[in-house]
Chain A
Amino acid sequence: MMVKRHYLRFVAFLKSLDIYQVLSIPVLLLVIMFSGDFRNTDIRIGVILPLTGAGSLRAGSHRNGLELALKHINAQGGINGRKIRLETCDSKGSATLAAELARDLIYETEVVSLIGGLSPAETRAIQQVAENAQVPFLTALCTHHEITENGSIFTFRSITDDKSQFEALAEFSARRFNCRKPALIYDSTLYGEESAHKYMEICIKFGQQVCAAVSYQPDSLNFRRQLQVIQASNPDALVLLTPADTAAIITRQAREARFNHPILGGNHLSLPEYSTISGVYAESVITTMPFNPRLGGQRADYFLSEYYDTYSSQADSFAALGYEALMLEVLALRAGEANRLAIRNSLAQLHGWESVAGSGGFDNHGNQVRPAEIAIIKERQKIPVNLEALF
């Protein structure tokens, strides 16, 4: 009865309106929709990773970490009631495609921030587009030192860079093994040569002088000639600045050639394929590790168990860094508005955060301040050196 009365009154109200008033109703609805951002309530973040081709395994893990973080954030209501949406694109390892994807995400999808980049060339291409358009860009995989040393304003890096890794390796080898004359093997592509120059520059600070630096052509499988040159210079350590699979072959051939001094390398040597290919020869190799679950405490435990439940596999460092990267974006979004400049300014203010990968912070250049952690490989497991005595 009551419903009928209201219905009749409503019909009477509609009949009382003139044609202009009736036509203005859809206009009013449109005004409300556009003013309330009904078109796009989600906060869009662009992700550019080489999901196919070389590096796809690492990129895939990274994406899983990002998506797990996304699931956790949106399950808790998102940011101020707005869900986060990841716009994930496959750069296929191409710098040109990465640049085009960054352009489309910025100007067409209108993302508020970008995450991604693995190889230095690809990362620089994304960075150039992002800096040009004044869009915050966070890389959690690219370790090339130049990314945050080129005066960029909108670029941030949450992984410990090459420079910190090299400092940690040089310092550790000098203190633990009293190394003074390391030798280097690097790939002849640009990244290898630049890394070699950087290592030579850094190790001097720790009283070391590189006695031999030898390059090789990509896709080489026989490194005996390079190892002969190195052994002739009588080094007291061998530093591998190569991809993981190549480093594993070099390690095998070096040990077979009775090279008994320490073998060291950056994050590449902490990858599972290094231990798998080099087998027992990886024993006692010194590496840096980008993710130590012990530093993340309960957060890391929760992440590892959730990751396993979701993907039925163990989380690796790239997954953890992906999870951390999106959580940093969320910290920035919670601190300010969901616009590009506010996110950039909030990221620049992030110091002393706690995440699954431990404590961290950005320096004045947007670079991670977390020091590199040294690990030793024992029975194919990476053991942080400060826990070595326990194993």
Chain B
Amino acid sequence: MSENTQKNGKNNGAGFWLLLFGVALAFYFINESKRSPENVREESISQRSPEPPAATVTDIAPRKISDSNDPSATLRIPFSRPVTTAAVNDLLVDPAGTLWAATEAGIVSIRNDQITHYRLADGTFPFPQAQCLAHDGSRLWAGTLFGLCVFNENKRFVRAEASQGLPSQMIWDMTSDGKTLWVGTQSGAAFLGKDDNFVVIDEEGSNGGLRQNWCQRVFRVENWFAASHDNGISLWNTSFPAANPEWWKNIDHARSGLTRPVTDFAFDGKYLWLSTPRGVLHLTTPVSRFFSDFMPNLVSYSRVHGLPADRINSMIHHRGALWVATNEGIARIKNEHIQLISPESGNFARHIRKLTASGDLLWLGTDNAVQFINTAMVD
């Protein structure tokens, strides 16, 4: 009797394990079928592109700003293998040469083909997403929509103590002039003082110099601090107190025809450039003459001038040219010529959200990957 029971028990046990395996397998396949295919992503997003989607980037004829047609203006260069990530919000190359990407799922670092993910689920990043990155010469900072983080000696990101001194924990952008960290938040801008406490710059404290508190992009150029916000652009001469509105220059959206939002800043050594949903613009007043002769006049370049799209997501001045990222690919503006970049080899994601450069490499952060091109191959 007891032997039979034991035998039956063994049979039941085998059946149980088989059932468990079957159920697990079934749920595995159900889950797999629920997932959205990654490879459909880019194609499906492009279904509602503002312009009729081109089959390839090379289908858009390259044109000079002067309207002459020069087929040689298309630059065909190889693209690197993409490193798959979540949607990229910011890119940074630190002084050691490591590329850092702030993404919608945390941080990714790339160094010598070694890819490291810092995520909330792993306990290596404290928040679900990362918005921006900056390196102040000694520390790597990550801004998120939940607060400020710093990369510590244990090789993980932790919430920075200084974060509580920010006017808002929703950080949209950061920049560093090599010594000081500048932060743009939902409720004002701030810079990190020597005592590791933030000094807040807002509409009230600047007596209206900063026209609006929601600082979406911040930028440092010479002795000026630039912030783009919901009312336009505010520029502060940092040699003088921020509390005096006389040391601020402003460009209003309504009066200048500047379209919201200003997505990025760049400086070509003489002029300040702005990227917007209606193309790139530069201020006709050189930065060196902001103090004495500031005029809020803008010159724009858009799709009609040969850019791949009107909406510019990011731009950077690199190797004597302005590189422009759009939802339809990248382009280069050099000596008043616009040249489209098309892939000679490798995969190419057209939705480019962020650019950064290091040496000859131009890094591209897209909806789902990070990759680079070698700009030394262009000229």
User: Contact residues of A with B, CB < 8 Å?
Assistant: 12-13, 15-18, 21, 24, 28, 31-32, 35-36, 95-96, 99-100, 103, 107, 121, 124-125, 128-129, 132-134, 146, 149-151, 153, 190, 193-194, 197, 337, 339, 341-342, 344-345, 348-349, 364-366
Contacts beyond the supplied A99-B170, A99-B186, A132-B89: 15 A-B pairs with Cβ under 8 Å: A16-B13, A17-B12, A17-B13, A31-B24, A36-B27, A96-B187, A103-B145, A103-B170, A107-B128, A125-B230, A150-B260, A341-B44, A342-B36, A364-B49, A365-B48
Nearest 4 CB-CB pairs, A to B?
Answer: A151-B311, A16-B9, A35-B27, A151-B277
B327 touches A151 (CB 8 A): yes
A150 touches B259 (CB 8 A): yes
Contact residues, B231-253 vs A (CB, 8 A): 231, 253
A124 touches B260 (CB 8 A): yes
Instruction: Please give, as numbers and ranges, the residues of chain A lying within 8 Å of B44 by CB-CB distance.
Output: 341, 345
Instruction: Please give, as numbers and ranges, the residues of chain B lying within 8 Å of A95 by CB-CB distance.
Output: 214, 230
Instruction: Please give, as numbers and ranges, the residues of chain B lying within 8 Å of A28 by CB-CB distance.
Output: 20, 23
Q: Mark B33-53, 1 if CB is under 8 A from A, else 0.
A: 010100001001101111000
Q: List 11 A-B contacts (CB under 8 A).
A: A31-B23, A96-B214, A99-B186, A107-B146, A134-B87, A151-B309, A190-B231, A193-B254, A194-B253, A197-B254, A364-B49
Q: Name the CB-closest residue of A to B9.
A: A16
- Complex Cα distance A33/B261, Å? 44
CB A132 to nearest CB in B, in angstroms, measures 7
Instruction: Please give, as numbers and ranges, the residues of chain B lying within 8 Å of A149 by CB-CB distance.
Output: 259, 277
- Indicate which residue in B48, B261, B367 contacts A128 across the interface (CB closer than 8 Å): B261
Whether B129 is near chain A, meaning CB under 8 Å from some CB there, is yes
Contact residues, B206-241 vs A (CB, 8 A): 213-214, 216, 230-231
CB A287 to nearest CB in B, in angstroms, measures 24
- Complex Cα distance A155/B24, Å? 39
- Indicate which residue in B17, B170, B277 contacts A150 across the interface (CB closer than 8 Å): B277
B13 touches A21 (CB 8 A): yes
Q: Name the CB-closest residue of B to A349.
A: B47
Instruction: Please give, as numbers and ranges, the residues of chain A lying within 8 Å of B28 by CB-CB distance.
Output: 35
- Complex Cα distance A13/B9, Å? 7
B: number of interface residues (CB 8 Å): 52
- Indicate which residue in A35, A103, A190, A349 contacts B30 across the interface (CB closer than 8 Å): A35
A341 touches B277 (CB 8 A): no
- Complex Cα distance A128/B311, Å? 14
B36 touches A341 (CB 8 A): yes
Instruction: Please give, as numbers and ranges, the residues of chain B lying within 8 Å of A35 by CB-CB distance.
Output: 27-28, 30-31
Known: A35-B31, A364-B50. A337 touches B186 (CB 8 A): no
Whether B16 is near chain A, meaning CB under 8 Å from some CB there, is yes
Q: Mark B268-301, 1 if CB is under 8 A from A, else 0.
A: 0000000001000000000000000000000000
Instruction: Please give, as numbers and ranges, the residues of chain B lying within 8 Å of A133 by CB-CB distance.
Output: 87, 104, 129
B50 touches A96 (CB 8 A): no
Whether B5 is near chain A, meaning CB under 8 Å from some CB there, is yes
- Complex Cα distance A334/B129, Å? 29
Q: Name the CB-closest residue of A to B17.
A: A21
Whether B310 is near chain A, meaning CB under 8 Å from some CB there, is yes
B145 touches A16 (CB 8 A): no
Whether B374 is near chain A, meaning CB under 8 Å from some CB there, is no
- Complex Cα distance A32/B17, Å? 15
CB B275 to nearest CB in A, in angstroms, measures 11
Contact residues, B111-149 vs A (CB, 8 A): 128-129, 131, 145-146
- Indicate which residue in B48, B87, B367 contacts A348 across the interface (CB closer than 8 Å): B48
Known: A35-B31, A107-B145, A349-B47. A339 touches B36 (CB 8 A): yes
Instruction: Please give, as numbers and ranges, the residues of chain A lying within 8 Å of B128 by CB-CB distance.
Output: 107
- Indicate which residue in B16, B27, B87 contacts A32 across the interface (CB closer than 8 Å): B27
A190 touches B48 (CB 8 A): no
- Complex Cα distance A21/B10, Å? 11
- Indicate which residue in B41, B50, B216, B255 contacts A151 across the interface (CB closer than 8 Å): B50
Whether B168 is near chain A, meaning CB under 8 Å from some CB there, is yes
Instruction: Please give, as numbers and ranges, the residues of chain B lying within 8 Å of A24 by CB-CB distance.
Output: 20
Whether B8 is near chain A, meaning CB under 8 Å from some CB there, is yes
- Complex Cα distance A25/B75, Å? 62
Known: A17-B13, A95-B214, A100-B186. A348 touches B27 (CB 8 A): no
Instruction: Please give, as numbers and ranges, the residues of chain B lying within 8 Å of A121 by CB-CB distance.
Output: 230
Instruction: Please give, as numbers and ranges, the residues of chain A lying within 8 Å of B367 by CB-CB distance.
Output: 134
- Indicate which residue in A31, A96, A107, A134 contacts B168 across the interface (CB closer than 8 Å): A96
Instruction: Please give, as numbers and ranges, the residues of chain A lying within 8 Å of B186 by CB-CB distance.
Output: 96, 99-100, 125
Instruction: Please give, as numbers and ranges, the residues of chain A lying within 8 Å of B214 by CB-CB distance.
Output: 95-96, 99, 125
- Complex Cα distance A32/B168, Å? 41
B20 touches A107 (CB 8 A): no
Instruction: Please give, as numbers and ranges, the residues of chain B lying within 8 Å of A15 by CB-CB distance.
Output: 9
- Complex Cα distance A105/B45, Å? 23
B12 touches A13 (CB 8 A): yes
Q: Name the CB-closest residue of B to A346.
A: B44
Instruction: Please give, as numbers and ranges, the residues of chain B lying within 8 Å of A103 by CB-CB distance.
Output: 145-146, 170
Q: Name the CB-closest residue of B to A13.
A: B12
CB B252 to nearest CB in A, in angstroms, measures 8
CB A107 to nearest CB in B, in angstroms, measures 5
Most B CB contacts (10 A, CB to CB) among A24, A36, A190 go to A190
Instruction: Please give, as numbers and ranges, the residues of chain B lying within 8 Å of A193 by CB-CB distance.
Output: 254-255
Instruction: Please give, as numbers and ranges, the residues of chain A lying within 8 Å of B8 by CB-CB distance.
Output: 16
B20 touches A364 (CB 8 A): no
Instruction: Please give, as numbers and ranges, the residues of chain B lying within 8 Å of A31 by CB-CB distance.
Output: 23-24, 27
- Complex Cα distance A197/B187, Å? 28
Instruction: Please give, as numbers and ranges, the residues of chain B lying within 8 Å of A96 by CB-CB distance.
Output: 168, 186-187, 213-214
- Complex Cα distance A341/B104, Å? 14
CB A332 to nearest CB in B, in angstroms, measures 13
- Complex Cα distance A337/B34, Å? 8
B48 touches A153 (CB 8 A): yes
Known: A96-B168, A151-B310, A153-B327. A190 touches B277 (CB 8 A): no
CB A127 to nearest CB in B, in angstroms, measures 9
- Complex Cα distance A100/B147, Å? 12
